[in-house]
Chains A and B, each alone.
Chain A
Amino acid sequence: ENQVEHSPHFLGPQQGDVASMSCTYSVSRFNNLQWYRQNTGMGPKHLLSMYSAGYEKQKGRLNATLLKNGSSLYITAVQPEDSATYFCAVDGDYGGSQGNLIFGKGTKLSVKP
């Protein structure tokens, strides 16, 4: 069964700390992995995409690495406005078509001011 697992489920760093979260996945075929952020009451917003193991991507204070069966996301110098739920989503050819993402349950980040 295609699935994505997050760790940890909740993260509560102090402002200015580094927040570290990860996901692991099990899919029948891998196309790419994407990270999304969801603020309360809103739809998820795409952060970045990665396509092969060993791939690293930096976007502002976000730094992500794609591993063989998972990914790590680091947010440096976290701010209260970074508080949100972060999702890893895998494009695994679900239904025989690219673009159908399998989401995990996310990591909820709550930054203490």
Chain B
Amino acid sequence: DTAVSQTPKYLVTQMGNDKSIKCEQNLGHDTMYWYKQDSKKFLKIMFSYNNKELIINETVPNRFSPKSPDKAHLNLHINSLELGDSAVYFCASSQALAGGYHEQYFGPGTRLTVT
């Protein structure tokens, strides 16, 4: 069984379009995340979300918005796509452990290409 799944795996779209990436975790975790990995493999957190609060990386444009219909899902909506949004987007989840370790489980990634 896949622990963290994302759809689609590949997404090719034109500038200006609006798109969504879906993420689901079946681990029963209470916190989910979205990361962006650029062409140089730099992995940067965009959002973290549990049912209590949303933490936003202040460098993320407000064209990006996470939406969580329930505890097991955190979708990423992107409006007015730009060329610079091309990257691999990873969803992850974690559960607070004793000592607050937050080991994270990552999905397989969605490669977004904006043309």
Q: Which residues of A contact B (CB under 8 A)?
A: 31-32, 34, 38, 41-46, 49, 51, 85, 87, 91, 94-103, 105-106, 108
Q: Among A45, A91, A108, point to the contact of B106 (Cβ < 8 A).
A: A45
Q: Which residues of B contact A (CB under 8 A)?
A: 4, 31, 33, 35, 40-45, 48, 53, 55-57, 90, 92, 94, 96, 99-109
Q: What are 22 A-B residue pairs whose CB atoms fall within 8 Å in the complex? A: A32-B100, A34-B103, A43-B4, A43-B90, A44-B90, A44-B106, A87-B43, A91-B102, A96-B55, A97-B48, A97-B55, A98-B100, A99-B33, A99-B96, A99-B102, A99-B104, A101-B102, A103-B35, A103-B42, A103-B43, A105-B42, A106-B43
How many contacts between A and B, using CB within 8 angstroms?
78
Q: Among A38, A44, A95, point to the contact of B55 (Cβ < 8 A).
A: A95
> Once bound together, how far apart are the Cα atoms of A18 and B89, in whole Å?
32
Structural contact, B44 and A103, CB atoms closer than 8 A: yes
> Once bound together, how far apart are the Cα atoms of A39 and B96, in whole Å?
26
> Once bound together, how far apart are the Cα atoms of A42 and B92, in whole Å?
12
Closest CB in chain B relative to A55 CB, distance in Å: 12
> Once bound together, how far apart are the Cα atoms of A78 and B111, in whole Å?
30
> Once bound together, how far apart are the Cα atoms of A111 and B26, in whole Å?
34
Closest CB in chain A relative to B91 CB, distance in Å: 8
Structural contact, B57 and A99, CB atoms closer than 8 A: no
Structural contact, A95 and B109, CB atoms closer than 8 A: no
Q: Among B44, B45, B107, point to the contact of A43 (Cβ < 8 A).
A: B107
Q: Among B41, B44, B101, point to the contact of A106 (Cβ < 8 A).
A: B41
